[in-house]
């Protein structure tokens, strides 16, 4: 049965084509047994509905773009899983794009999407404080956008973030409570939203406990793993911190490699806490501030579909703040 389609299916099962359509669209307006009978029959014959034809009917692409700085990263992978789960239930596919945190790549991709390639965009921005006009044209074309985790404050879209300030404050206070006197802050880009807010939490926790904020202890890293290794190695040699609060997981991983090579004991000589969604963090014994990545993806996608459902109507944009959790493990034990 090579040329099976909804019509053939309807005939074979003695049902109307609209009933068949409802079975595939996930509509609740259909008897459960009927739905299952249709899906079982369709599955048996490797048939799944022609989304393209559906697109022409709906004038919808049934595709969402998801734009992230990295893919090989547990935080983004989990967030994508959350987005994808909501999208799949709605019958949508994901056009995934990785920016490598390079602003030009983000601009290029958004411009590409401007032409109706997708129905909506969920993105974690590359973060450069450039001209963000390329995003404004999306609104004109009725393509809703939701930011998550890394956001541009100057763009009026729904945003899903975490309580970065509070959890950075808490992580730093935790390091202070273990006796750390010289806590280094590892960051990739202090000017982007998360780097800035997390540093403020760190700085304010130091202040609360009468410790001086030392600019030298803010270790500014790069996108390049080898360079980061050198930067962190130099920082450990020159500054001799007794604690590290890392705003990004891969900088903590780099610090682990440096410590391995320099015979610095964690937590004996140096205590480490890092923002991280690394699934094997418990195996490493790494203390983490863990963001609810999966839930952030669910929330961002839900907000986007809310806007799609209200197409044309004004949607009041706001920032939804979810809570991260501090997991104290061996790397910051007393």
Binding site residues, a second copy, CB under 8 A? 2, 43, 46-48, 50-53, 63, 71-74, 77-78, 80-81, 84, 93-98, 104, 107-109, 111-112, 114-117, 130-131, 133-134, 137, 253, 256-257, 260, 278-280, 282-284
- Smallest distance, a second copy to C-beta of residue 81, A: 7
First-to-final CA distance of the chain: 68
Q: What DSSP string describes 85-104?
A: HHHHHTT-EEEEEE-TT-HH
- Smallest distance, a second copy to C-beta of residue 316, A: 27
8 vs 95 by CB, closer to a second copy? 95
80 vs 298 by CB, closer to a second copy? 80
Q: What DSSP string describes 35-77?
A: HHHHHHHHHHTT----HHHHHHHHT---EEEEEES-SSSHHHH
42 vs 206 by CB, closer to a second copy? 42
- Smallest distance, a second copy to C-beta of residue 1, A: 10
165 vs 257 by CB, closer to a second copy? 257
- Smallest distance, a second copy to C-beta of residue 260, A: 7
- Smallest distance, a second copy to C-beta of residue 47, A: 8
118 vs 187 by CB, closer to a second copy? 118
Place of tokens 């001209």: 131
d(Cα 94, Cα 62) in Å, to the nearest integer?
9
Nearest residue to 88 via CA among 97, 80, 78: 80
d(Cα 25, Cα 90) in Å, to the nearest integer?
8
Contacts of 244 (CB under 8 A, 6+ apart): 183, 184, 186, 252, 255, 270, 271, 272, 273, 274
51 vs 317 by CB, closer to a second copy? 51
- Smallest distance, a second copy to C-beta of residue 18, A: 21
Contacts of 48 (CB under 8 A, 6+ apart): 24, 42
- Smallest distance, a second copy to C-beta of residue 78, A: 7
Nearest residue to 97 via CA among 116, 121, 130, 81: 121
Q: Which residues pair with 98 in a beta bridge?
A: 68
96 vs 155 by CB, closer to a second copy? 96
62 vs 317 by CB, closer to a second copy? 62
Cis peptide bond upstream of 267, omega within 30: yes
- Smallest distance, a second copy to C-beta of residue 27, A: 17
What are the distances in angstroms from CA 167 to CA 76, 174, 284, 288, 299?
19, 10, 21, 10, 20
């Amino acid at each position: 049965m090579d040329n099976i389609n909804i019509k053939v299916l309807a005939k074979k099962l003695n049902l109307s084509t609209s009933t068949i359509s409802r079975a595939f669209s996930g509509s609740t307006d259909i008897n459960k047994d009927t739905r299952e009978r249709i899906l079982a029959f369709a599955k048996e014959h490797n048939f799944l509905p022609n989304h393209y034809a559906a697109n022409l009917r709906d004038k919808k692409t049934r595709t969402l773009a998801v734009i992230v700085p990295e893919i090989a990263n547990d935080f983004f992978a989990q967030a994508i899983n959350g987005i994808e789960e909501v999208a799949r239930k709605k019958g949508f596919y994901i056009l995934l794009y990785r920016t490598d945190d390079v602003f030009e790549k983000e601009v290029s991709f958004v411009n590409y999407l401007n032409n109706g390639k997708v129905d909506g965009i969920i993105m974690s921005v590359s973060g450069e404080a450039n001209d963000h006009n390329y995003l404004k044209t999306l609104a004109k074309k009725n393509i809703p956008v939701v930011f998550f985790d890394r956001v541009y404050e100057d763009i009026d879209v729904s945003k899903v973030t975490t309580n970065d300030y509070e959890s950075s404050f808490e992580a730093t206070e935790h390091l202070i409570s273990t006796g750390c006197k010289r806590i280094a802050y590892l960051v990739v880009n202090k000017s982007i939203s998360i780097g800035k807010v997390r540093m403020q939490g760190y700085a304010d926790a130091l202040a609360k406990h009468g410790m001086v904020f030392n600019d030298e202890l803010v270790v500014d890293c790069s996108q390049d793993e080898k360079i980061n290794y050198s930067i962190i190695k130099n920082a450990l040699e020159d500054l001799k911190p007794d604690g590290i609060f890392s705003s990004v997981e891969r900088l903590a991983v780099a610090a682990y490699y440096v410590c391995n090579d320099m015979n610095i004991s964690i937590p004996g000589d140096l205590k480490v806490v890092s923002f991280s969604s690394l699934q094997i963090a418990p195996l490493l014994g790494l203390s983490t501030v863990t963001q609810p990545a999966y839930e952030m993806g669910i929330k961002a996608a839900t907000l986007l579909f809310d806007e799609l459902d209200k197409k044309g109507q004004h949607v009041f944009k706001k920032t939804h703040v979810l809570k991260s959790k501090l997991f104290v493990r061996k790397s910051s034990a007393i």
